[in-house]
Structure 1
């Protein structure tokens, strides 16, 4: 990327004006100094800062700015220090914009029942970086993906987590069984159908990824379903913006006390937005809902109306993708976005799945490293 004019420094030296492409962009002197890329400011090996703000002068100004070979060279005062910034790096990190933050980030695409589940073979994922990168990118974009070609064995789902990160152990253990039990501690262990939901909303933070792998599935019924919680939230916002704001603006309460020695509670909104308004997560699980006491009396009826409508949208078959796992198949969901469910199944035959949790930071880190190889 080439700048198209000479960079300009404001009269007081605190702001840099730079033309990047077709638009003029401004950077504060203190921002540039804090984010300098030189070896005295950042470790050349790991990129971590070697300074704190307390190491910088109280007032930082610029006295020189020039372009050379695709880089901007800036001199900071009172240090008399000159640092170089690649123009591409500046373009990627510009913050001088009046546009509101998008509701969805650029790598997220909402979907409905027309969605074809992304899928990849486990051996290919383990041996081919391109396959693994594309599969991980699908999870980032759509919030779920399938895995085929597994050996249906106990603990085999850990091979999926090993592709990108680590198992997150909970009170359910490193893995949990999903099959019919007598006197179950959780409704997931019965043959009942389950409404689409996110897992463990009573934790803070919630496990951000869930893996479910099939070892046996000869029972009648029991198809898996997934619903895009972001798409459901967007549909609610289009139909009822005020209701969307109520669900995003007040916390829901969730609780789980179904096992001895366990009493989990959380207080978070069903639709969670970042401070700048980007959709961040969905928490929806009727089985784990606790009495909501944080909505004002005069807003409670409208809050419930929005809650009911979101529930109806989630139950709409137009929103769901369904599939029946065969032994040796698995799927992974972003538990902050995608709701999962299952149809009811009969007592005839066997249905045995194993599940575990992991965290999205490992997945996104592995994906970023793979994408950097191609840059």
Structure 2
């Protein structure tokens, strides 16, 4: 949530730039630090990623004459979302389209790619496009379809409530890719919600609930056999903040929330009340966006920001719904985004 600037100004007589974020939080940037970190070609050697400006040449009493700021920001949304859509093959072939894909993914949190085949292997192509995929205990890629004795609730036909994937890991995957290979005729609709937007609403409507969910450690667990046998456990705050109090990640999956809850007894009921209000906000008609994937669609989304779910569908005598999924790490995605930005700007 730290990426939305509401106001920027130079404070009179202080040699400091003030940034006011969307939630009224304040950040201050001294002019001398800004000067020291100027990225222009005279002050910074881009090929070496190193500072050229010498301390001897630094005016430690420098001030700020005026400023403007780039108003690009994270775009929060609810049911009014216009789902960003690009062509799958264009993203694979052209840097401009790949750059638009990843920059939109960073800004909006979700992008739909259309025109992929109805065969497995398409998410692996996207993994190669950005660098590599994120290996988990479910493999480099995994198949979402109803299975007998399913080792994950996603591998059933029932409704999936809003969740993020893999909070049982200490470092949950940052980006999720889902390719629709086969879709059921009735049911199986996808539901998504902008978790950062919901956090903003919760903080405004009930600051105490926000404080509880952003300060209480919750246990998550996942045990089973897939790519290999596994037994993982972690503790996360459902709303994870950075050191400035900005939301940076949502960690929540009710299916893998452990029975262990290591908090004083008097804090249990307030926690559940806060969690219930958070989930009620997610499920409000104004917050959630519903759509149905078609064969050949690939949905790519921010697993730290968005929570996703699925409506139930009826099982038949054969598999009626089949998705192939994979994960990517934000470090890998952001690395590719920076490289693509440079290529596009340089016209390569």
TM-score range, shorter chain: 0.7 to 0.9
TM-score by length of 1: 0.74
Residue 270 (structure 2) pairs with residue 309 (structure 1) = no
CA distance in 1, matches of 2:289, 2:29: 45
Deviation string, structure 1 residues 175-226 (Cα, Å, up to 9, x no partner): 1111111111111111111001100110010011111101111342101111
Task: State which drifts further: 294-303 or 270-279.
Answer: 294-303
4+ residue segments displaced more than 4 Å: 16-19, 35-39, 41-44, 82-85
Shift of 1:152: 1.4
Match of residue 281 from structure 1: 249
Match of residue 335 from structure 2: 365
Match of residue 326 from structure 1: 294
Which one of 167, 177, 186 corresponds to residue 201 of structure 1?
167
Deviation string, structure 1 residues 62-112 (Cα, Å, up to 9, x no partner): xxxxxxxxxxx7653xxxxx4799x9xxx99xxxxxxxxxxxx96312110
Match of residue 31 from structure 2: 26
Task: State which drifts further: 365-374 or 238-247.
Answer: 365-374
CA distance in 1, matches of 2:40, 2:107: 34
CA distance in 1, matches of 2:39, 2:73: 27
Distance 1:213 1:24, change over 3 A: closer
Query: Given that residues 212 and 353 in structure 1 are in contact (C-alpha distance below 8 angstroms), is that contact kept between their aligned partners in structure 2?
Result: yes
RMSD of aligned alpha carbons: 3.5
Task: State which drifts further: 202-211 or 128-137.
Answer: 128-137
Gaps of 5+ in 1: 1-15, 51-72, 77-81, 93-104
Partner SS for 2:289: strand
Distance 1:243 1:38, change over 3 A: closer
CA distance in 2, matches of 1:84, 1:196: 53
Distance 1:48 1:256, change over 3 A: farther
Query: Given that residues 220 and 256 in structure 2 are in contact (C-alpha distance below 8 angstroms), is that contact kept between their aligned partners in structure 1?
Result: yes
Query: Given that residues 191 and 290 in structure 2 are in contact (C-alpha distance below 8 angstroms), is that contact kept between their aligned partners in structure 1?
Result: yes
Query: Given that residues 184 and 313 in structure 2 are in contact (C-alpha distance below 8 angstroms), is that contact kept between their aligned partners in structure 1?
Result: no
Match of residue 46 from structure 1: 48
CA distance in 2, matches of 1:221, 1:37: 52
Distance 1:129 1:252, change over 3 A: same
TM-score by length of 2: 0.79
Which one of 168, 178, 182 corresponds to residue 216 of structure 1?
182
Partner SS for 1:211: strand
Task: State which drifts further: 153-162 or 292-301.
Answer: 292-301
Gaps of 5+ in 2: 1-13, 18-27
CA distance in 1, matches of 2:230, 2:134: 17
Match of residue 157 from structure 2: 191
Shift of 1:297: 3.2
Residue 312 (structure 2) pairs with residue 341 (structure 1) = no
Query: Given that residues 202 and 254 in structure 1 are in contact (C-alpha distance below 8 angstroms), is that contact kept between their aligned partners in structure 2?
Result: yes
Shift of 1:303: 1.7
CA distance in 2, matches of 1:150, 1:208: 22
Which one of 150, 154, 157 corresponds to residue 120 of structure 2?
154
Shift of 1:359: 1.0
Match of residue 224 from structure 2: 258
Match of residue 104 from structure 2: 138
Shift of 1:366: 2.1
Distance 1:42 1:296, change over 3 A: farther
Greater relative contact order (CA < 8 Å, ≥ 6 in sequence) = 2
